[in-house]
């Protein structure tokens, strides 16, 4: 089976559909664009423009907040990818939605995974995106430069986050990939490769989907409790 076909089959087993869509948090989505280059899976990422108010200059996936015109999380991810990097929705083969995350602003962020062609030429919208680059997906289980950073969520929940430094030798540039973006990239790589990474992850790798869902629901419960106590 081709690399793409194997990845498709693995990802479909992890599709959560709209299982978490009814949770009462503001919604956002990101697109995790996969492409095959020289027989290997790669992930397309963007760098946020420096003039943005939130997280300027940080690496992220194309994405953003849900708007009234979006009928679901997939719509949001595709619309945002078109606005940010000129990726037309019909150029994306959407495969699945994965277990969501919660960002610093307490948005429920749904990762939407899709395949794009290796020939895609990004046209970054300079108001939102300063750069676009690709990373071999395997880097997110076998990195050359990795550290775990401790942090506390807004609800006081102590945890740690993945932080990767990726050196793009062709372009002589380094990119720091961390936070929720790194969290989604690692989860995607764990699903597709089914291998133990070279660093610690707090999932039960034999029961990846149920442990990811439980971990998310614990985080959600802590955020929701804090939200209620603030009202």
111-122: per-residue pLDDT in tens? 999 999 999 999
Distance CA 204, CA 103 (A): 23
Please determine, for residue 80, whether its predicted confidence score (pLDDT) is greater than 80.
Answer: yes
pLDDT at 28 over 90: yes
- Greater confidence (226 vs 167) lies with 167
d(CA 3, CA 141): 17
CB 116 within 8 A of CB 34: yes
Query: Average pLDDT, stretch 101-111?
Result: 93
Instruction: Please give the pLDDT value at position 21.
Output: 95
- Whichever domain contains 19, its CATH number is 3.90.79.10
Q: How many domains does the chain have?
A: 1
Query: 3-class SS at 223?
Result: helix
Per-residue pLDDT reduced to its tens digit, 179-216: 999 999 999 999 999 999 999 998 999 999 999 999 99
Asked if residue 33 has pLDDT above 90, the reply is yes
- pLDDT at residue 231 above 80? no
Percentage of the chain lying above the pLDDT 70 cut: 96
Instruction: Supply the pLDDT for residue 152.
Output: 78
Q: How far apart are CA 51 and CA 205, in angstroms?
A: 40
> What is the three-class DSSP state of 32?
strand
> Residue 155, Cβ neighbours under 10 Å: how many?
18
Find, among 1, 30, 40, 52, the residue nearest to 100 by Cα: 30
Q: What is the pLDDT of residue 16?
A: 97
The range of the structural domain enclosing residue 95 comes to 3-230
Question: In this predicted structure, what is the pLDDT of residue 227?
Answer: 65
Task: Look over the chain and give the mean of its residue pLDDT values, rounded to a whole number.
Answer: 94
Residue 76 is predicted with a pLDDT of 98
What pLDDT was estimated at residue 223? 85
pTM, two decimals, is 0.95
Whole-number pLDDT of residue 132: 96
Higher per-residue pLDDT: 171 or 140: 140
pLDDT in tens, 128-169: 999 999 999 999 999 999 999 998 766 676 788 999 999 999
């Amino acid at each position: 089976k081709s690399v793409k076909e194997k990845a498709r089959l693995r990802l479909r087993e992890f599709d959560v559909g709209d299982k978490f869509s009814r949770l009462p948090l503001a919604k956002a989505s990101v697109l995790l664009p996969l492409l095959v280059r020289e027989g290997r899976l790669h992930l397309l990422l963007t760098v946020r423009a420096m003039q943005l108010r939130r997280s300027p200059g940080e690496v992220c996936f194309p994405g953003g907040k849900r708007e009234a015109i979006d009928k679901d999380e997939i719509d949001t991810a595709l619309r945002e990818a078109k606005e940010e990097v000129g990726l037309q929705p019909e150029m994306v083969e959407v495969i699945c939605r994965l277990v969501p995350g919660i960002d610093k602003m307490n948005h429920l962020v749904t990762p939407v995974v899709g395949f794009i062609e290796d020939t895609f030429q990004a046209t970054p919208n300079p108001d939102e995106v300063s750069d676009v680059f690709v990373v071999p997906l395997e880097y997110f289980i076998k990195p050359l430069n990795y550290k775990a950073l401790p942090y506390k969520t807004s609800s006081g929940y102590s945890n740690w986050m993945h932080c990767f430094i990726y050196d793009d030798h062709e372009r002589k540039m380094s990119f720091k990939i961390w936070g929720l973006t790194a969290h989604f990239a690692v989860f995607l790589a764990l699903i597709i490769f089914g291998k133990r990474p070279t660093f610690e992850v707090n999932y039960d790798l034999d029961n990846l989907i149920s442990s990811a869902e439980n971990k998310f629901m614990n985080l959600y419960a802590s955020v929701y409790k804090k939200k209620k106590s603030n009202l």
